[in-house]
Amino acid sequence: MKAGEYRKDIDSLRAVAVMMVLVFHFELFGAQGAGFLGVDIFFVISGFLITSIVKRQLDDGTFDLRQFYANRIRRLAPALFTVMALTLCMGMVWLLPRQLTDLGKEAMAAQTYLSNFYYWRTINYFGLSANSAFFLHTWSLAVEEQYYLLYPIFLIAVHRIAKRRFWLALGLVLIVSFLINIYFVDKKPEATFYLLPTRAWEFLVGALTSRIASIYVSQAEASLIFLTGLALIGASAIFLNRDLPLPGYYAAIPVLGAAFTLFAGDKCSLHILRAFNASSIRYLGKISYSLYLVHWPVVVFARSMLGTEDNLPWRVVLFLSSIGLAVVIYHLVENPIRNRKAFAASRQLASAYGLGLICSILFCAVILATGGLPQRFPGPVIDLAAYTDDKTPPLTQCEFSHQSLNSITDLCMIGSNTAPRWLIYGDSHAWAGYQAFDIWLKRTKQSAVFMFQHSCPPLRGVHLYHDQDRCFNFNEQIFNVLAKSPAISKVLLVSIWRQGKDGIATSKDIVPTQASASVLFKEAFPKTVADLKALGKDVYIWEPLPGAREDVPIFMARAAMMHLNRELEFSRDEYLSDFSFFFDVLNSLRTQVSGRLSSSRALCGSGICMASLDGKPLYFDTNHPTASSAEFWADLLVRMERGASPS
């Protein structure tokens, strides 16, 4: 790029990137594809532009690091402050205390550009949920800001120490970052996704593209390169998906696509440029930053308010509303400050930024210190919302973590102080039911050995894609113990049992589909039961819990404040249909299974599967039983063992 040159195609490419993200997040064409890879395109654009600017100024001796940082603040902070303020205000009105507390933590992480670290550490099975994290999308903003903070210093050092090897140094760092990304994408997938060292290569692809951008190619060659780049971007959005190890090798597809379009975007034939650089497309590119910031809080609030009524017409309305909000933020906040029509002096900008930072952090601190400002709601509402924390403690001593299990002494003991006859094991439903198992066993003067592993169904031969053999080893280790433990005569398998239906169960290193996962489930379930019978064990099954459409405590708390015109519970027919894949297999094993805990018989007798009992939630989310309902589940376990059907 020449000094001061404006390239229309870069704004158009921004439009492509942000539309990929929005279409994916609003699920306008279903939840398939990988539109979130639009973020990778933004990284390439940033690397291209920043390197072009900084390298030119370093060569001219005009680069000012303080001014560079001031420009970054001017570019990024105003729209972020605005979206954050709007989100916090909306949160004050709508969110219950625990949710507002989470929002306050997210806002502080986003404001300090550390949200990639925050989400890396907090989004997990029973931590913060990705679908309820209002500032989740700011992880990429944090990565960019960390890049802006460190990259100019790196460029200054390279320019002074090895000016003649400037581009070679960037290329070497690119290779190292890419290899680190490849090495850790399976071993540490969350860190690889969220952190700068494994994302730096994407920025540096853009940087090296700025180096070769001046190479002459014919108009026909440029057009071919440009269209190839768009094809790569389109293919990545359509054919890749969220279940693949990303970034990894796969991210190279949209990254190279972006590099090709940047290289050839100002050299193409006139009719291609006219189509790609249409004013409407470029306008979306201009507002892309505000649009990216505002769209995700809209998505999360909409899911919270609409629940299962979040249908396609609503999503289209919300998609258009996001564009409308972005237009307002762009014209009233982002553009005036960026173009120095407001806070023109750097000192004014620094003062305003500092004041805004202090105020936002203080406000979030008040939210955290008060536990989410609970005084906003009546006591009964707070009491119901508190059931989100009504869960079994972590029980890390009972959670499998790749250790070798050699005997029953390596497992947790639960129940009465007697020799254990039972083994109880499974996924997070085993963990959530721990207190119910303990009550049941003590009531019947029995004991058990116990172990769980989140997400892992108690089925032999099953992997979860890219779980590093965790589930497979879990089940093999359990069977290793059982083979050495003749005193254990009864085994209770506990699970949500959805891994097959949800398409996450797989054979080793095979990318799962819903069909392949279903087939594997139908093979693994009978085999597991047969293997247990071959060891002389009686097999008992914890059937899938009916659950609810939404988080039960949150729904009930909001229903206590207002009329919610939507259903919480599933009908018995819906439940049986949803889990027909499970019951088809289980019913075929009728003669081999000694007992079944059928919660649906107790909960769905009226035709509607209850999600609460005596006004208290039975689940702390959509499907995991609350700790306080342990007596209820213990009663069902007693009936299961006695062979009685719950009424």
Task: State CA 137 to chain mean position distance.
Answer: 10
Sole residue written with tokens 């303990």: 438
Give the pLDDT of residue 496: 95
- 225-269 residue pLDDT tens: 999 999 999 999 999 888 788 899 999 999 999 999 999 989 998
Give the pLDDT of residue 645: 42
Tell me the β-bridge partners of 424: 450, 492
Give the pLDDT of residue 146: 97
365 vs 5: which has the higher pLDDT: 365
How many C-beta atoms lie closer than 10 Å to residue 191's C-beta? 16
Nearest partner of 257 among 40, 8, 18, 48, judged by Cα: 40
Give the pLDDT of residue 459: 96
DSSP one-letter code for 231: H
For residue 47, the one-letter residue type is: G
Q: Is 494 helix (H, G, I), strand (E, B) or coil?
A: strand
- 591-639 residue pLDDT tens: 999 999 999 999 999 999 999 999 999 999 999 999 999 999 999 999 9
Q: Is 513 helix (H, G, I), strand (E, B) or coil?
A: coil
Q: Are residues 399 and 428 in contact, defined by beta-carbon separation less than 8 angstroms?
A: no
Compute the distance between CA of residue 239 and CA of residue 236 in angstroms, rounded to an integer: 6
Measured in residues, the chain has a length of: 647
Query: Can you give the pTM of this predicted structure?
Result: 0.90
User: Average pLDDT of the chain?
Assistant: 92
Tell me the β-bridge partners of 541: 493, 596
| Confidence label for 31 from pLDDT (cuts 50, 70 and 90) | low
DSSP one-letter code for 488: -
Cα-only R_g, the chain: 28
One DSSP character per residue, 331-399 reads IIIIHHHHTTSSS-SHHHHHHHHHHHHHHHHHHHHHHHHTTS-GGGS-HHHHHHHGGGG-S----GGGB
Tell me the β-bridge partners of 608: 571
Q: Are residues 148 and 162 in contact, defined by beta-carbon separation less than 8 angstroms?
A: no
Percent of the chain with pLDDT over 70: 97
Compute the distance between CA of residue 8 and CA of residue 512 in angstroms, rounded to an integer: 41
| Confidence label for 127 from pLDDT (cuts 50, 70 and 90) | low
- 630-647 residue pLDDT tens: 999 999 999 998 874 443
For residue 620, the one-letter residue type is: F
Residue ranges and CATH numbers for the domains of the chain are 8-374 (no CATH), 396-546+571-608+625-642 (3.40.50.1110)
- 288-343 residue pLDDT tens: 999 999 999 999 999 888 876 778 889 999 999 999 999 999 999 999 999 888 88
